[in-house]
Structure 1
Amino acid sequence: MTQPSTSRIPGAHIADPGALGLGAFALTTFVLSVVNAGMVDAEPVVFGLALAYGGIVQFAAGLWEFAKGNTFGATAFCSYGGFWISFWYLTSYTDLTGLAGNSAEHGVALYLLAWGIFTTYMLIASLRTNWAIFTVFLLLAPTYFVLAAGDFSGSEAVAKAGGWLGILTAIAAWYASFAIVTNATFKKTLLPVGPR
């Protein structure tokens, strides 16, 4: 007699890496956004977080999403992990002082604008996730665009507005992370994330 085939769900044995990826994104975004909002003048504090937690840990969460067969989570976490590593390199090791006029600010603005474009198409894809994840992307896309506008225009007020949007984004991402880890730990829905 032939045994029926039992195909396993990809990555079923792996815990949901979403809580880790969102947590890494949220904490790093929060600290940088507090600096961008002008509440604290200590940008170098962000560098270690950007490399280790926002960058390496979030990228690892993206690799686990690949193993689970989650294209959206893998693309998001690997990409934003890459963002934080590139941010760390840009702010720690890239010398922009030799650029003429406002070329450095415009270069950083272009970098932020490109991330805003990527985030916008991820926002569209997030419509098929849940409202908690959608909210993160709904806040993150304008965060990038406002920060880019602040650098293009040289306006400190616009840059600070981008910082405040970033704080809201971090809070939304923390909620999503908290919901995933709490619901998984208690094995029931204590914190809703909305329908898929």
Structure 2
Amino acid sequence: MSSTIETPRESPSERAPKQDAAPGAGIADPGPLGLAAFALTTFVLSLFNAGLAPEALEPIVLPLALFYGGIAQFLAGMWEFRKGNTFGATAFSSYGAFWLAFAAYVQFIEPKLEASGVTETDVKTATGIFLVGWALFTLYMLVASLRTTGALVGVFATLFLTFALLAIGDLAGASTIATIGGFVGILSALIAWYASAAVVTNATWGRTVLPVGPRS
């Protein structure tokens, strides 16, 4: 009887290199976070744009724009990159950066323009140009959203109208149009909140409780 201990032969499957897990496989869906961050910040700012909240209280938007609409939404976009979702990554990263840029503009740039002697009309023109760029971005994101869900189409359609109306209001000096833009912004926020709630609720319950509309 031999005293030599033989090592068991490996099967072909054991010799094969181990496959890494799919990118983003262990990451929860960041979509509800991004939508909720967008919704709350948009809702609060739109209350002021619509004239439903006292203008003197408008600075309360800044912390939301920095930490929730800005940083939290931007992080949601980064996680969407990890999950391989090009649409979600582009949307959340961009709108997160929008809120950070908006906070910086209101806190640093707008006062600097006013202190340098720039007229109020020119300051509104600068704001309008800022908003026009975001309206154009939102327009092509709206086109892309047509291949997602009805809820997201609603978010991007109303958001495009919000940016467009606010931009026209600032560029043309038409406060009534800007006020309408504020009301449309509230609607956009409500739809985004619904979309966020639907994803969280449906995932938690394991079935469709809140429908988001069929994909086209």
Same topology, TM > 0.5: yes
Q: Which moved more, 1:39-48 or 1:24-33?
A: 39-48
CA radius of gyration, larger in:
2
Structure-2 residue corresponding to 1:146? 165
Distance apart, 1:18 and its partner CA: 0.3
What TM-score, normalized by structure 1, do the two folds share? 0.95
Query: For residues 9 and 188 of structure 1, what CA distance do their matches in structure 2 show?
Result: 24
Choose which of 79, 82, 98 in structure 2 pairs with 1:64. 79
Give secondary structure in 2 for the equivalent of 1:60. helix
- Unmatched runs of 5 consecutive residues or more in structure 2: 1-11
Query: For residues 188 and 45 of structure 1, what CA distance do their matches in structure 2 show?
Result: 37
Query: For residues 71 and 40 of structure 1, what CA distance do their matches in structure 2 show?
Result: 36
Q: In the alignment, does 2:24 pair up with 1:11?
A: yes
CA deviations on 1:144-180 (whole Å, 9 max, x unpaired) are 0000001011122111101000000000000000001
Q: Percent identity?
A: 54
CA deviations on 1:113-151 (whole Å, 9 max, x unpaired) are 100000000000101111111110011001000000010
Give secondary structure in 2 for the equivalent of 1:40. coil
Structure-2 residue corresponding to 1:180? 199
CA deviations on 1:18-55 (whole Å, 9 max, x unpaired) are 00000000000000000100011221010000000000
- Unmatched runs of 5 consecutive residues or more in structure 1: none
CA deviations on 1:45-79 (whole Å, 9 max, x unpaired) are 10000000000000000000000000000000000
Distance apart, 1:96 and its partner CA: 2.0
Give secondary structure in 1 for the equivalent of 2:177. helix
Structure-2 residue corresponding to 1:129? 148
Structure-1 residue corresponding to 2:187? 168
Q: How does 1:67-146 map to 2 (within 5 A)?
A: 67-94=82-109, 95-97=112-114, 98=116, 99-100=118-119, 102-146=121-165
Choose which of 60, 73, 77 in structure 2 pairs with 1:45. 60
Number of paired residues? 196
What TM-score, normalized by structure 2, do the two folds share? 0.87
